[in-house]
Structure 1
Amino acid sequence: MSDLAQPFASSNPLRARFDQLSVAGKLIALCAAAISLLLAIGFTIVTLQASSVVGRGSSETAEVTAERYASDIATDVNGIVGASHAMARSISTDLTATGFAPDRTVSQLRGFLASAPTVLGAWSILEPEYNRPELAGTTAYNVAGGFAPYVTRDKSGKINQQDASPPEDWQKDYYAQGLKRGAGRLSLPYSYPVDGKQVLMFSITFPLRRGDQVVGVSGFDISLDDLSAGLMKQKPLGSGRVRLIAQDGNWIAHENADMLMKPYDEGQKELIDAVIKTGTPQRFAHVAADGTQWARFAVPVTVSGIADRWAVVVDIPQAAITAPT
C-alpha cells in the first residue's frame, strides 16, 4: 500500500474490515450492497408510480363526478320535459277533437304547473287565427286579442294568473323558434316580468297541433336563479363547483348571479363549443383570476327527444386531484 493510501485506510474502519475479508466474503458483501441499492431504487420507483396512480385515480374520480352531474341534470330536465310534452298533447287534443275552449286551456296550464313543483310558470300561445279582438285585455287574451294565457307559482307555492303574454312574444325565440321547429326544444335564456319583477329564465317548449298543423306553442318556464341555487349547493370532491352553459354559450347556472346570460369567456372557448356542438366531453386546465389552478371538466347535458344540448362545467381544484388519499 502506498504512503498516500495508508492514512485513508486507517481512517476508514469499514474499508479496513472489507480488506480483511476473504474473497468469498468480499463477494457476499458486494452482493448485499448491490441488493440494498436495487431495493432503494425500486422503492423510489414504486413511490413515484404510486403517486402517479393516486393523481390519475383522483382525476378519473373527478371526471366520473362531472359525468354524474351531467346525468343528474339531464334526468331532472327530462322529468320536466315529459310534463311539458304531456301538457302540449293535452291542449292539442282539445284543439283537434273537442274544439278550442279558452277556460279549459287555462285550467290545463294550472293543473300541469301544480304537478311540476320546480317549474316557475306555464303558458300557451296560439297563432293569430285564434285571435278574439273583442276579448282584448281579458284574463287569457292580450291587448291585441291574442290568446296567450300565463300562470306562475309564487314563493309560497300559490299559482297565480299573470297578464296574457304581449303581442311581441310572437317574435321571441321561445315562441317563434318553437313554432318553426315544430318539435320540443330548450329555449335560449331570456328575461321576463313575473309579478312586476324581471326574472331570468328559459323555457321547455312543445308545439300545439290541430291535427297535423302546428297552430301554437306551450311551455314551462324555469328560473335561472333557482337552477343556480340548486347547483351551487354541490361541492364535487368537497371543494369543487358546478356551473351550466346553455346551447348559445351563455351561463345559465353560476355562483355569481351577474354572470347569468353572459357568454363564457374564460379561455379555451373552442373546447366548450365542442361539447355543445358535438357532445364530446373535454378536460383542460383553468387558472382563475386569483391564481387558483383548476382542473375543468366540461360534459354534455343531453335531453331525451330534444336536439338542444347544454354543457355542465365541473371545476375541481388541482390540489384536490393531486393530493394523496
Structure 2
Amino acid sequence: MTVAGLAIAVLLLFGFTAVVFETRSAVGELSDQSALAQANAEGNQVKSDIATFEATARTLASTMSNLHGKGARDRSIATAVLKTDLLKSKVALGAWTMIAPDQWDGPDVGKGGQPGTSKDGNFRPYWVKNNGTVAQIPNNAAEGYNKPFFRKSFESGDGAILDPYMFDAGGRTVLMTSITQPVRSGNRVIGVAGLDMELSSISERLSKLKPFGTGRVTLLSANAIWVANPDAARLGKLYADPGLDDVKAAIASGETRVLTDIEVDGVPTRRVIRPVAFQGLNTTWAVVLDVPEATIASPAHRMAWQLVIGGLVIVGAVLVSLFYAAGGIIGRPMGKLSEAVDRLAKGEDVAIPELGRQDEIGTMARAADVFRQAAAEKADADRRLAEDQEIVTGAVGEGLNALRQGDLTREITEAFPSGYLALKDNFNAALAELRHMIGAVANSANGIKTGSAEIAQASEDLARRTEANAASLEETSAALVQIDQRLRASAHAASQTVLRADEALLTVSGGRDVADEAVQAMGRVSDSARGIDSVIEGLDKIAFQTRVLAMNAAVEAGRAGDAGRGFAVVADLVSALAMRSEEEAKRAREQLTATQSDIGTAVEAVQRVDGAFANISGGVTEVHSLLGQMAADNQAQSVAITQISAAVSTMDHSTQQNAAMVEETSAAARNLTTEAATLNNNTARFDTGEL
C-alpha cells in the first residue's frame, strides 16, 4: 500500500511538474511580449512628444534663415518673431537664437544697444516664459559659443537634442532639455535656433503607469541620463543600476534588450530596454520597463501549489481507503486460513480453504475469499485506470506540445474514456476559439498594414506640398516688407522736398521785394545820377544771393531724385537769371556816365527780373502741390502694403503649423505601419489551417 501511494505521488509529481514548467514558460513569454508592446507604445508616445518640439524648432530656424536670406535683417523684427513662436508653444520655457559673430547684419561692433543684442554687439536674443508672461533676458555670456547647445548643430548642420539638465525656472527647479536647429544663409550655417522644453509632463505621465500592476516605466537619454523616473532624486543623474553596459549597447544598436536576474532597489526584476530613435535629431533615447520577477512567476506558483495540494489529497485518500479495507479483512490467524491469507498477502493466487464450513471459520474463510476476489478486481480496475490515464495524458501532451509550437489545427481525435470526455471536448473547443481569434487578428493586421501604408504615403505627399506653400508665403512676406520699407523712404523724401519747396517760395518772394526796391531806387537815380553806383552794387548783391539760392535748390532737387526733376529745371532758370543780373550790373557800372535813357533801360530790366520772379513763384507753387500729393499717395500705399504684409505673415505661420501637423500625422502613420507589421509577424507563428 505504501509503494502504491508513493508510485501515485511520483506520477502526479512528474505530471504536475511538466504542467507547471510549460505554464511558467508560456506566462514568461506572454509577459515579455506584453511588456515589449507597452514599451513600444510608450516609446512612440515619447517620440511624438519630441517630434512636436523638433518641428517647432525647425520652423523657428527656417524663419530666421529666410529672414537673413531675403535681406530682412532688422534685429527687432527677428527678435519679435522669436517671441511669437514661444507664445505659440504651451510647454516650452524658452526660445533663443545665437548667431555667430558678424554673421547677421555685418560687423557687430557698436550694435550693443539694439534689440536681442548682447553688450558686445552679438545677435543672440533669448525669450523666457515665466508664470504666463514672456520676458527677454540678456545673453551676455560669450563663452556660450563653445557650449554643446551651440556647437552640436552649428558644426554638424543638423538638429540635435541635449541631455536633460536641472534649471531654475521662476523659483522652482525643473528638468529640461533643449532642441536645436541650424540657421542657414544659403549653403552656409550662420547660427543656431533652439527651444527649451520642460520634461516634467513626460516624467509625470510615465510615473503613473503600472505595468502588470506592480511594474513601472522610466526613460533614459542617449548618454544613459534619467529623463523620467518615479524617484525624483534620480532625475538628471547617470544610470547607476545593474546592466549599464547592456543599456548603452541597446541605445547604440537601436535593438530592444531584456535584462533578467537583476535587482532594482533590492527586488529581482525583469527589465525591458526599448530604444527610441529621433531621426530628425540624430539621437536615440530608451524607454525602460521594469516588472518584478515575482509578479511574472506568481500565476505559475499559484498553479503549482494548487496541484501539490490536490495531489496530496488524492494520495491521502487512496492510502486511507487501502488501510480501511485492509483493516476490514484482517482476522485472527487460524491455521490454514492464516497461511492462505499470508500467501495471499504475498501476492500468490491461492484458493481459500474451508469455504464450505458453516461455522465461524467458514465465515472468515468466505471473508478471506471475498478479499481475494476484491484484490483481483482492484488489480483489474487499476490496470484499466492506468490505461485510461496513459491515453488521456498522451493525447493532451501531444496537443499542448503542438500548441506550444504554434499549431492551432492539432485537435484531440483519440477516443477518451467516458470519465474524460469533458476534458477532450473542452480542449478542442478552446483550441477552436483560439484558432478563430488568431485568424481574425491576422486578417485585421493585414488590413491595418495596408491602410496605414496608404495613409503614410498620402500624409507625406501632403506634407511636401504644405512645406512648399509655406516657403512661397515666407518669400512673399519678405518681399512685401522690402516694398513697404521703400515706400516709407519715398514718402519721407517727398515730405522733405515739400519743405524745401516752401523755403524756395519764401526766397522767391524775398527776391521780388528786392526787385521792387530796385525799381524805386532807379526812379531816384533818374533824379540824381550820383546814386547809380549804390544801386548797381545792390543789384550785384541780389544777383549773387540769387545764384546761391539757385545752387541750393539744384542740390535739393538732386537729392529728391526723379521727384525733383521739375524743380531742378526751375533752379537752372533762376541761376541763369542771376547770371544775367550780374552782367547787367557790370554794364551799368561801366556806363556810370551814360545818359538818363540808359538808367531808364536799367529800370525796365529790373522790372523784367520782377516778372521772371513772379513766373518762378508760380512754377514752384505748382511743384509744391504735386509733391504734396505724391507724399500723400506714398503714405497711403505704405499703409496698404503694411496690412497686406501682416495678412501674408499670418497665413505663413498658419501654413507652417499645418506642415508641422501633417509631418506628425505622417510619423504616426509610419509607426502604425511598423506596429501592424510586427503584429502580422507574431500572428504568422500560428498555424490556423487557413491560407
Q: 1:108-137: per-residue Cα shift (whole Å, max 9, x none)?
A: 222222332222211111010146343436
Q: CA deviation at 1:279?
A: 0.6
Which amino acid in structure 1 is aligned with residue 88 of structure 2? S
Contact 1:179-1:207 within 8 A present in 2 as well: yes
Q: Does 1:97 align with 2:76?
A: no
Distance change in 2, residues 1:305/1:92 (3 Å): same
Corresponding residue to 2:180 among 197, 205, 208: 205
Residue equivalent to 1:313: 288
1:288 aligns with 2:264: yes
Secondary structure, counterpart of 1:248 in structure 2: coil
SS of 1:301's equivalent in the other structure is strand
1:94 & 1:81 partners in 2: Cα distance? 20
The amino acid that maps onto 2:68 is L
Q: Which residue of 2 aligns with 1:239?
A: 214
Judging changes above 3 Å, is the alpha-carbon distance between structure 1 residues 227 and 164 closer, same or farther for their aligned structure 2 residues? farther
In structure 2, relative to structure 1, the CA distance for the partners of 1:195 and 1:146 (3 Å cut) is farther
Indicate conservation of the 8 Å contact 2:99/2:190, yes or no.
yes
Contact 2:79-2:115 within 8 A present in 1 as well: no
User: How far apart are residue 262 of structure 1 and its match?
Assistant: 1.9
Residue equivalent to 1:253: 228
Q: Which among 55, 64, 79 is matched to residue 82 of structure 1?
A: 55
Name the SS of the counterpart of 1:93 in structure 2: helix
Q: Distance in 1 between matches of 2:84 and 2:232?
A: 31
Please say if 1:324 is aligned against 2:324: no
- Is the alpha carbon distance of 1:227 and 1:43 closer, same or farther for their aligned partners in structure 2, counting shifts above 3 Å? closer
What SS is found at the alignment partner of 2:237? Answer: coil
- Aligned to 2:299, what secondary structure does the other structure show? coil
CA RMSD of aligned residues (A): 2.9
Q: What displacement does 1:162 show?
A: 2.5
Counterpart position of 1:125: 98
- d(CA) in 2 for partners of 1:100, 1:233: 47
CA shift in 2, pair 1:154/1:266, >3 Å: same
Q: Which deviates further from its counterpart, 87-96 or 132-141?
A: 132-141
Aligned ranges for residues 141-220 of structure 1 at < 5 Å? 141-155=117-131, 157-164=132-139, 166-192=141-167, 194-195=169-170, 199-220=174-195
Runs of 4+ in 1 over 6 A off after TM superposition: 37-40
Offset at residue 209 of structure 1 (A): 0.5
CA contact (8 A) 1:251 1:263 kept: yes
Question: Contact 2:242–2:263 at 8 Å: present in 1 too?
Answer: no
State the one-letter code of the partner of 2:192. Answer: V
**CA 1:294–1:137 in 2, change beyond 3 Å: closer, same or farther?**
farther
Instruction: Report the CA distance between 1:43 and its aligned residue.
Output: 6.3
SS at match of 1:128: coil
TM-score computed with the length of structure 2 as normaliser? 0.39
Instruction: Answer with 97-106 or 72-81: which moved more.
Output: 97-106
Q: Residues 182 and 51 of structure 1: is their aligned pair in 2 closer, same or farther, counting only changes over 3 Å?
A: same
Q: Is the 8 A contact 1:55 1:324 kept in 2?
A: no
Q: State the TM-score, normalized to the length of structure 1.
A: 0.79
| CA distance, structure 2, for counterparts of residue 39 and residue 193 of structure 1 | 66
Displacement of 1:223 in angstroms is 2.2
**Maintained 8 Å contact 1:240/1:315:** yes
Q: Where do 5+ consecutive residues of structure 2 fail to align?
A: 2-6, 301-691
Equivalent residue of 2:70, what SS? helix
**d(CA) in 2 for partners of 1:42 and 1:197?**
62
Task: Spell out the pairing of 1:2-151 with structure 2 (5 A cutoff).
Answer: 45-129=18-102, 130=104, 132-136=108-112, 139-151=115-127
Cα distance in structure 1, aligned partners of 2:70 and 2:37: 48
Say which structure is richer in helix.
2
Aligned to 2:245: 270
Query: How far apart are the structure 1 equivalents of 2:181 and 2:291?
Result: 36
Judge conservation of contact 1:162–1:194 (CA < 8 Å) in 2: no
C-alpha contact (below 8 Å) 1:139/1:163 kept by paired residues: no
Where does the alignment leave 5 or more consecutive residues of structure 1 unmatched? 1-11, 13-33
Q: How many Å separate the matches in 1 of 2:12 and 2:212? A: 36
Return closer, same or farther for 1:269/1:39 CA change in 2, 3 Å cut-off. closer
The 3-state SS of whatever aligns with 2:25 is: helix
> What residue is the counterpart of 1:7 in the other structure?
none
> For the structure 1 residues 230 and 47, does the alpha-carbon distance in structure 2 shift closer, same or farther, using more than 3 Å as the test?
closer
Structure 1 stretch 160-169 or stretch 39-48: which is displaced more? 39-48
Residue type of the alignment partner of 1:251:
W
Q: CA deviation at 1:38?
A: 7.8
Q: Which has the higher contact order (CA 8 A, sep 6+)?
A: 1
Q: Deviations over 1:36-86 (max 9, x none)?
A: x98996566345423431232122211211122111111111121111111
Matches of 2:111 and 2:167, distance apart in 1 = 24
Kept after mapping to 2: 8 A contact 1:119/1:223: yes
Q: Distance in 2 between matches of 1:135 and 1:200?
A: 35
User: Does the 8 A contact of 2:76 with 2:114 survive in 1?
Assistant: no
Higher strand share: 1
Task: Give the secondary structure class of the aligned counterpart of 1:177.
Answer: helix
**Greater shift in the superposed pair: 181-190 or 119-128:** 181-190
Count of residue pairs brought into register by the alignment: 292
Percent of pairs identical after alignment? 30
SS at match of 1:159: strand
Letter in 2 for 1:160: A
Segment of structure 1 superposing worse, 57-66 or 203-212: 57-66
SS in 2 for 1:68: helix
Which amino acid counterpart does residue 119 of structure 1 have in structure 2? A
